[in-house]
């Protein structure tokens, strides 16, 4: 994997843990109260990208995750970890569609800066956990924009563009084994299922998230460009 930087139980895979969401056909909360706008409660049990496509085609433009994504609990509970990864992947893929996501996040006390790796996701409504969470959420909201950390498929390669840390970091992945690892990581898997050298490389560039024994792919596949593709 080549890169450039421009300054300025653990046996259970995450897809096996369905979550429920509430969905509406409009971004505006008042419009969501009108007849026919409420899509009700929907169970999400398949692959995240496919389920988000299904939500989009149903007309969902506002989605709420009723349960808090609690990384403190998930760190020690394999079942909670799988559900947390499922929820985070949904937020990732809904963000890629520019769907309004209402969700809440609790960080583990041992990782007070853990939110920074997630700041390309739509900001949660509430951020709890370590000291400084209120200030972190304010910064997250202030600095968030679409396409902050994304990947796209080219002919025979994957390109990743990451602005989560303030500069532009570009990665070109041409090696088939790396592309296979990305596909494996997309919905979260136990770390032992990923080639350790590849996983170490992706960890070093902070392109994977970790919840308990699970690892998952952080960048989202670009679905909605905010500007012309060449300028993002």
* Tokens (6 digits) for 98: 């520019």
DSSP count for the chain of H helices, then E strands: 7, 15
Q: How are the residues of the chain apportioned to helix, strand and coil, as percentages rounded to the nearest 5?
A: 35, 25, 40
DSSP for residue 204: H
**Among candidates 118, 68, 66, which has minimal Cα distance to 95?**
118
pLDDT at res. 226: 59
Other C-beta atoms closer than 10 Å to the C-beta of 80 total: 19
pLDDT at res. 222: 81
pLDDT at res. 113: 86
Residues 6 or more apart whose CB falls under 8 angstroms from that of 225 comprise 147, 232
pLDDT at res. 7: 46
> One digit per residue, pLDDT tens: the chain, 232 residues?
766 554 443 344 444 667 899 999 999 999 999 999 999 999 998 999 999 999 999 999 999 999 999 999 999 999 999 999 999 999 999 999 999 999 999 998 877 888 999 999 999 999 998 888 999 999 999 999 999 999 998 899 999 999 999 999 999 999 999 999 999 999 999 999 999 999 999 999 999 999 999 999 999 998 766 555 544 4
- Residues pairing with 43 in the sheet: 20
pLDDT at res. 224: 63
Query: What is d(CA 219, CA 160) in angstroms, rounded to the nearest whole number?
Result: 8
Query: What is d(CA 51, CA 53) in angstroms, rounded to the nearest whole number?
Result: 5
Residues 6 or more apart whose CB falls under 8 angstroms from that of 176 comprise none
pLDDT at res. 16: 61
What does pTM read for this prediction? 0.90
pLDDT at res. 232: 45
């Amino acid at each position: 994997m080549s890169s450039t930087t421009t300054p300025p139980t653990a046996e259970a895979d995450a897809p096996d843990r369905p979550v429920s969401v509430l969905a509406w056909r409009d971004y505006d909360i008042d419009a969501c109260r009108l007849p026919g706008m409420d899509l009700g409660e929907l169970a999400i049990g398949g692959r995240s990208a496919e389920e988000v496509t299904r939500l989009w085609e149903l007309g969902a433009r506002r989605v709420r995750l009723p349960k808090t994504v609690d990384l403190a609990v998930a760190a020690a509970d394999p079942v909670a970890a799988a559900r947390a990864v499922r929820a985070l992947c949904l937020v990732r893929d809904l963000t890629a569609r520019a769907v309004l996501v209402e969700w809440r996040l609790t960080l583990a006390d041992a990782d007070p800066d853990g939110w920074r790796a997630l700041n390309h996701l739509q900001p949660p409504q509430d951020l709890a956990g370590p000291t400084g969470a209120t200030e972190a959420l304010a910064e997250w909201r202030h600095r968030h924009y679409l396409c902050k950390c994304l990947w796209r498929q080219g002919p025979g390669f994957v390109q990743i563009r990451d602005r989560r840390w303030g500069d532009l970091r570009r990665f070109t992945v041409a090696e088939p084994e790396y592309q296979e690892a990305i596909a494996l990581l997309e919905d979260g898997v136990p770390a032992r299922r990923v080639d350790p050298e590849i996983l170490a490389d992706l960890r070093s560039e902070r392109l994977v998230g970790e919840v308990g024994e699970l690892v998952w792919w952080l960048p989202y596949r670009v679905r909605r460009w905010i500007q012309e593709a060449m300028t993002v």
